[in-house]
Chain A
Amino acid sequence: MDFKLRIWRQDNATVKGRFETYRVSDISPDCSFLEMLDILNQQIIDKFEKPVCFDHDCREGICGVCGLYINGRPHGPDDGITTCQLHMRKFHDGDTITIEPWRAKPFPVIKDLVVDRSAFDKIIQAGGYISVNTGGTPDANAIPIPKHNAEIAMDAASCIGCGACVAACKNASAMLFVAAKVSQFAMLPQGRIEAKERVEKMVAKMDELGFGNCTNTGACEVECPKEISLSHIARMNRELYAAKIL
Chain B
Amino acid sequence: MAILNSKIPEGPLEHKWTQYKATQRLVNPSNKRKLDIIVVGTGLAGASASASLGELGFNVKTFCYQDSPRRAHSIAAQGGINAAKNYQNDGDSIYRLFYDTIKGGDYRSREANVYRLAEVSNLIIDQCVAQGVPFAREYGGLLDNRSFGGAQVSRTFYARGQTGQQLLLGAYGAFMRQVNKGTITLYPRHEMLNLVIIDGKARGIITRNLITGKIERHFAHAVVIASGGYGNAFFLSTYAMGSNGSAIWQIYKKGAFFANPAFVQIHPTCLPVHGSYQSKLTLMSESLRNDGRIWVPRKKEDAEEIRNGTLKPTEIAEEDRDYYLERRYPAFGNLVPRDVASRAAKERCDAGFGVGSGLAVYLDFADSIKRLGKHVVKERYGNLFQMYEKIVDENPYETPMMIYPAIHYTMGGIWVDYELMTTIPGLFAIGEANFSDHGANRLGASALMQGLADGYFVLPYTIQNYLADEILTPRMNTDLPEFKQAEKEIIERIDRLTSVRGDESVDSFHSRFGLKLWNTVGMSRNKADLTHSIEDFKAMREEFWKKIRIPGSKDEFNPELEKAGRVADFIEIGELMARDALQREESCGGHFREEYQSKEGEALRNDNDYMYVAAWEYKGEKSDPVLHKEDLAYENIKVQTRNYKK
Contact = CB atoms under 8 A, between A and B. Distances in A.
B169 to A, nearest CB: 7
Interface in B446-484: 456-457, 460
- Closest 4 pairs (CB-CB, A-B): A144-B141, A129-B173, A137-B130, A154-B134
A42 B137 contact: no
Interface stretch (A56-64, A213-221, A232-240): A56-64
Contacts of A185: 132
A121 B68 contact: yes
A155 to B, nearest CB: 9
Contacts of B69: 121
B67 interface: yes
A117 interface: yes
Contact of A153 (B48, B132, B173, B457): B132
Given A48-B551, A62-B75, A135-B456, 9 more contacts: A63-B75, A63-B240, A85-B390, A87-B390, A116-B67, A124-B173, A132-B131, A140-B126, A160-B165
Contact of A147 (B52, B125, B141, B169): B141
Most buried by A among B67, B125, B159, B390: B67
A233 to B, nearest CB: 19
Task: Give the interface size class of chain A.
Answer: 35 or more
B456 A134 contact: yes
A118 B68 contact: yes
Interface in B560-601: 560
A161 B279 CA distance: 23
B174 to A, nearest CB: 6
A58 B159 CA distance: 19
B539 interface: no
Given A48-B551, A134-B51, A110 B211 contact: yes
A111 to B, nearest CB: 4
B141 A146 contact: yes
A89 interface: yes
B278 interface: yes
Task: Indicate the member of B75, B135, B162 with the most A CB atoms within 10 Å.
Answer: B75
B143 A140 contact: yes
B68 A80 contact: no
27 contacts: A32-B391, A38-B507, A45-B560, A49-B551, A50-B552, A57-B73, A58-B71, A58-B73, A60-B76, A63-B240, A64-B75, A121-B68, A121-B70, A129-B173, A132-B127, A134-B55, A140-B125, A141-B87, A141-B142, A144-B140, A150-B136, A150-B137, A154-B159, A185-B132, A190-B130, A190-B131, A191-B132
Contact of A61 (B131, B186, B387, B559): B387
Contact of B130 (A30, A39, A138, A160): A138
B68 A140 contact: no
Interface of B: 48, 51-52, 55, 66-71, 73, 75-76, 85, 87, 123, 125-143, 159-160, 162, 165-166, 169, 172-174, 176-177, 179-180, 186, 188, 211, 238, 240-242, 274-275, 277-280, 282-283, 386-387, 390-391, 393, 456-457, 460, 505, 507-508, 549, 551-552, 556-557, 559-560
Contacts of A53: 557, 559
A29 B498 CA distance: 35
Quick one: which of A39, A61, A130, A140 has the most chain B CB within 10 A? Answer: A140
A121 B507 CA distance: 31
Given A139-B126, A190-B130, A130 B173 contact: yes
Given A130-B131, A160-B165, A87 B137 contact: no
B389 to A, nearest CB: 10
A129 B128 CA distance: 12
A139 B130 CA distance: 9
A120 B134 CA distance: 21
A81 B390 CA distance: 8
Nearest to B71: A63
A57 B460 CA distance: 29
A137 B560 contact: no
B71 A121 contact: no
B144 to A, nearest CB: 9
B141 A145 contact: yes
A146 B138 CA distance: 8
B67 A124 contact: no
B76 A188 contact: no
Contacts of A56: 241
A94 to B, nearest CB: 19
A135 B390 contact: no
A129 B66 CA distance: 21
A174 interface: no
Interface in A45-90: 45-46, 48-51, 53, 55-65, 78, 80-81, 85, 87, 89
Given A59-B241, A63-B240, A184 B134 contact: yes
Given A48-B549, A80-B386, A161 B173 contact: no
A21 interface: no
B462 to A, nearest CB: 14
A128 interface: yes
A63 B387 contact: no
A35 interface: yes
Contacts of A65: 66-68, 71
Contacts of A190: 129-132
B136 to A, nearest CB: 7
A63 B240 CA distance: 9
A45 B16 CA distance: 56
A80 to B, nearest CB: 7
